[in-house]
Amino acid sequence: MAPARWSVARSGAKTDGEGRFELAALVTAGTFLELRGPALVLGATFDLDRTGDTGAFEIAVAVDAACRFLIVLADSREADAFSLERGDGQPVVMFLKVEGLTISAARASIDGGRSGPVLVQEGEYEVVLLSGDEEVRRERRSFPAGGLHEITP
């Protein structure tokens, strides 16, 4: 996809609880729609089909709901990092904010008993607490969508 030659600096649409939205009139040739916001894990971009009815179109896709969280330990000396695993033991890629950038990582640090903010798709994961490279403990937890949740394994 080619980069946008012009973009709106602020949101161009408001969405209701059922996902309906309305846009001001726009040219559809070479236009794409980008979905992003704090409720999504990562944004998604869609080319607009200019052959259909541009007065009413539907985007029928699933987007991953985001869970933003911090790990908070009762004993700050217990672990210095953590990772997440799916039920099948596969590692989960997490998204971390580092100096204004979002990076992906399979492991996040814990400093003084608290991690920095982390973003994953909502769901159930195994929290694996680590001290150095040694596993300290693991616990199954639910990671709900929205907000900034404190997870205390």
Structure confidence at residue 72 (pLDDT): 97
CATH number at residue 127: 2.60.40
Among 47, 64, 81, the domain-final residue is 64
**Residue bearing the bigger pLDDT, 72 or 17:** 72
Same domain (yes/no): 60, 107: no
Among 38, 64, 90, the domain-final residue is 64
Structure confidence at residue 23 (pLDDT): 66
- Which of 48, 62, 38, 42 shows the shortest CA–CA distance to 4? 48
Same domain (yes/no): 95, 38: no
- Which of 3, 13, 46 shows the shortest CA–CA distance to 28? 46
Task: Give pTM, 2 decimals.
Answer: 0.67
Domain tally, the chain: 2
**Structural domain of residue 43, as residue ranges?**
1-64
Assess contact for 136 and 80: CB atoms under 8 A: no
Among 17, 49, 64, the domain-final residue is 64
Q: How far apart are CA 68 and CA 39, in angstroms?
A: 9
Average pLDDT of the segment spanning 98-111: 90
Structure confidence at residue 61 (pLDDT): 58
Q: Which position has the token pair 């907000």?
A: 147
Same domain (yes/no): 59, 90: no
Same domain (yes/no): 37, 72: no
